[in-house]
Each structure stands twice: as structure tokens, then as C-alpha cells.
Structure 1
Amino acid sequence: MTLLALIASGLRDALTFWLPLACAGCDAPDVSLCDGCRAALVPRPSRRHAGPSLPIVCGLRFEGIAARVIRAFKEEGRTALARDLAPALAAALAASVPPGARVTTVPSSSAAFRRRGYRPVDLLVRRAGRRPERLLRLRRSPEDQRGLGDRARRENVRGAFAARRPLDGAVVVVDDVVTTGATLAEAVRALRAAGATDVRAVALAHTPRRSGSRDESEVIMT
């Protein structure tokens, strides 16, 4: 861990000690996550599609309590919430990982790592009982995807990732939240270009389709 990451971790610990604790889902006092909000994180594996050839298995819908908890985990440094989010990701991985597959994650930028002091997706994968490998690297840092349409998102991440080494066999690539699937699709492309023969995509959560459009997610029976 770098010096900056250690400092960021120390600051998070200090804030946790001095600031009042509240539920990440509903702001109930004196608890990191209340029982009611924890129940809202029960895994609900479903399959979304990024184009005709890329199914993405997701553990939750990114809305309501789940969305608030994921934001607190990612943006407020509340890393202990990974324990509560991990079952949903574990369920999605269980529905996706073929025998012998390697698990990797969509890489985050150096600036994001310095700001947070940790890699959220890597932490989630470890809490879900898998060992993530750093098989991808950033060739360039895409712009923030928020507010972009489907085509703009695809263009924004085009060519952003490359494999760190030649690959073969099965690889599962994991992200935290999928909206259009453009980021995962580009990660899958880079892994296939490096030689991986069976590449699958998984996300902790997916955003529901915009109002007026059809939600094409398929519930996976477990």
C-alpha cells in the first residue's frame, strides 16, 4: 500500500471514530447498516445484455437502499459495507464462473485510487470469496460516464483497456455498477484480444432501464 493510501485509510478511520455513525441505507443512528436495510441487499441475480453477444450477470438492482449503500461504500470510504454487499456479488459470480476461470476487475484510474485509498471492486471480489487478478490496465483514463448516452459511453471507453499479458482459457471480469454495459464490453474486448477464449461479465448491481423503456433483465433462479 502506498503512503497516500495509508494516509487516506488513516483519515477514514479517524472520521469513523469521531463522527456519529448512521445506517448507510436509511440514516438510522448508531448502526452501520440496520437489519431492514441489510434485508434489502438480499441477492437477486439477473442477466442484462450489452448488445446481442454480451450477457452480464448482476447481483442487485441499483436503486433505493441498495444504491445508497453502494454509494456510501464507494464514495464515503465506508469499506466495512463490503461485507454486506459481498453476498450479492458472490451470487452473481456463482452463476457465472466456469471451472478454472480467472477473475479480474475493471481497472480504476490512479487518481481514483489515490482519492479513495482502495479499489472498491477488488475489495468486493475478495469479500465474495474470490481472488482477483490484475489482468487489465488502463491505456487512458475515460471521462466520467455520468450523463452520457449509450453511443457516447461506448465512444468514451473505446480502446481504454488493454491486457497486461497474453491470456488463454476462461476469464470473468467484474465491475461494480452497470448502466449500458459499455465499460464491461470494452473490458471483454481487451481480454479476448489478448487470447482469452471464454470471457464473461459480472457486476454487483445494474441500473434499471430509464423511464419509458423496457427493462430487459432476466431473473436467474438460484
Structure 2
Amino acid sequence: MPRSSLLSVVVSSLTDALTFWLPLSCAGCGALDDALCPGCRGALAGARVDRAIEPGLTVSCALEFSGVTARVIRALKEDGRTGLARDLAPALAAVLRSVTPPGGLVVTVPSSATAFRRRGYRPVDLLVRRAGWSPERALRLRRAPGDQRGLGRAARRRNVGGAFVARGVNGRAVVVVDDVVTTGATLAEAVRALRAAGAGPVWAVALAHTPLRIASRGESHGIFT
């Protein structure tokens, strides 16, 4: 078994063990004895929103990153609650079905090596698999960008400029997926790398988008781009 797969199994097993011994609470509202209560699960029903992130590039998003959705995504990404991917996946699957052409590649924005070592899994890959697609690792990091916290739109673009390189996409239609989009700098840079590698039409998808009033101030939630 590859080392990355083994690490994912270990993390999942430890999470299951902790869930057995520690009180379970809803990731959305904190109610006890349920990983996600029916009300919070209902709040994850998606409605596609298309948002322009730069001229000629639109990202299709499934959810708004606020309230219950934001808390559930943070629990998935930062608390190791990987089972929540099953609850988030239907909204993402609906958007992927609406934009992915027959034979198109679904490519995920890569996590940094540091983030993978810390978590033991790649949240975007996990979400895409739960949504019913096999994610292609056609993108890789050429260099690790700096921390995006506190950076405005222009600074974020400079920070991720040249960060990605793509391969294996020449002439292929590609859908590139990220978890949460704020200014769109990371997705825009991923699209540029895919096009530079000869990809055909490229679509951008995100599980969730931050409200425009937050993104416009250049604020950051710390773990999203």
C-alpha cells in the first residue's frame, strides 16, 4: 500500500476510535450524539452559483461558505472529521454533473506537502471521490505559496503566481476543483497552468464560495484561497 494511502487509513482509524470514546457532536450546531443533525444536513443542500473571478474565467460553486456550511467544512479540513465529506458531496456532485463534459478530466488543486502531513489526507480529493469522480492529479506544486492570511486580491495573485505545473492534459477537457474560493487567485493560477500544459476547455468548480462582501475586503479565513 502506498505510504499516503496507509497514512489516510491510520488517520481514519484514529478518528473512528476517538469518536467511539468521546462525545459526538454535530459539526454544524454542536448538538450532542449526532455527527451532523438533520437540520444541519438540510442546510447543505446546494444551489449552483457562478461567480466571475477574472475576465474570461468563472467558477461554479455549490454552497456559500457561511454558517453551518463553514463550520462543517472547517470540521472536515481541520478537525479530521472525514466522514462529513459524505454530507458535503451531494452538493458538489450536482455542480460537477452540470459542468463536466463526457470524457472530461476532473483535476483537484493540490495540497501542500505540509498540509498533507498534518492532516494525513487531501480534503479536495476526498470530496471529489465522495461525489462520484476519480480525481486526477494532473496538477502539482512547483513551489509552496506563502500564507494567504491577511492578503488582498492582488497580493494573493502574486503569492500563488507560478505555483502550479500541469501534465497529462494535452487536448483534454478539464474541470479543476477546489474546496473554497475567496478571491479566486488559486483557481485562476491552476487554470493558467492547465492551459499552459495544452489542456482544451477548462472549467473551474468549488465546493463553496465566500460571500462577496468578505472577499472584497481582502479578508481571509486562513485556510482558504
Matched residue pairs, number? 214
| 1:219 corresponding residue in structure 2 | none
After TM superposition, list the pairs within 5 Å mapping 1:7-156 onto structure 2: 7-156=10-159
Which deviations, in whole Å up to 9, do the C-alpha atoms of 1:37-59 show, x marking residues without a partner? 01100011110111111110000
Residue identity in the other structure for 2:16: D
TM superposition shift of 1:8: 3.2
1:159 and 2:156 correspond: no
Task: State which drifts further: 138-147 or 198-207.
Answer: 138-147
Residue identity in the other structure for 2:98: A
**Would the aligned equivalents of 1:8 and 1:115 in 2 still touch at CA under 8 Å?**
no
* Matched residue SS, 1:133: coil
**Would the aligned equivalents of 2:12 and 2:82 in 1 still touch at CA under 8 Å?**
no
Gaps of 5+ in 1: 214-222
Q: Using the alignment, how far apart are the partners of 2:146 and 2:214 within structure 1?
A: 25
**Would the aligned equivalents of 2:108 and 2:124 in 1 still touch at CA under 8 Å?**
yes
Which deviations, in whole Å up to 9, do the C-alpha atoms of 1:47-78 show, x marking residues without a partner? 01111111100000000000000100111010
**Would the aligned equivalents of 1:23 and 1:32 in 2 still touch at CA under 8 Å?**
yes
Q: Using the alignment, how far apart are the partners of 1:160 and 1:147 within structure 2?
A: 19
1:208 and 2:211 correspond: yes
1:182 and 2:172 correspond: no
**Would the aligned equivalents of 1:179 and 1:206 in 2 still touch at CA under 8 Å?**
yes
Compute the TM-score of the two structures, normalised by the length of structure 1: 0.91
Compute the TM-score of the two structures, normalised by the length of structure 2: 0.90
Alignment root-mean-square deviation, CA: 1.7
| 1:217 corresponding residue in structure 2 | none
Gaps of 5+ in 2: 217-225
Residue identity in the other structure for 1:162: V
